[in-house]
Amino acid sequence: MASTSSKTPSLPGSNYDVFLSFRGEDTRHSFTDHLYEAFRLRGIEAFRDSENLQLGQEIASELIQAIENSQYAIVVFSEKYADSRWCLDELAEIVECKKNKGLEVVPVFYHVDPSDVRKQTGPFEKAFDEHQKNDRIDKEKIQKWKDAMREVGNLSGEHLLPPHQR
């Protein structure tokens, strides 16, 4: 997919200004859609996966390429983010690109406590417990996911509370 933005990305080979990582069922038709539209209206080229991309179990090469070819990644941590192996694979790839390619990463804590993300407690602990029970998931991969979540969870970001907690 080529960039239609009038801005020239500053990273060599960069096609997108922003890669959005999010759990579709939690935020696709609310926060993430609004964020994506706000970027589009400002001429910021953002990549978000479409619902039909997630047909396979492994992260698609198209998503890896989109992450690698972005200047920024915004990770929208929500209650069910860690339930998805797909999201966790994206997160691990984002951290690799942060380390190796200078990708700038900004976390958004959408109705979740940032300390739950960092420490993998609350809903994140439950999700990782379920992944640990799955014999088809390599234990090293699970540790890589946890390390990536801890690293991004420790970054400065935005904490969005549910309306009843504001």
Pinpoint the alpha helices (H) of the chain. 24-27, 31-41, 61-68, 85-101, 114-119, 123-133, 139-153
DSSP result, 102-124: --EEEEEEESS-HHHHHHT-THH
Q: Please choose, from the candidates 1, 150, 15, the residue with its C-alpha nearest in 3D space to the C-alpha of residue 88.
A: 150
Active site residue 90: yes
Catalytic residue among 68, 79, 90, 151: 90
Catalytic residues: 90
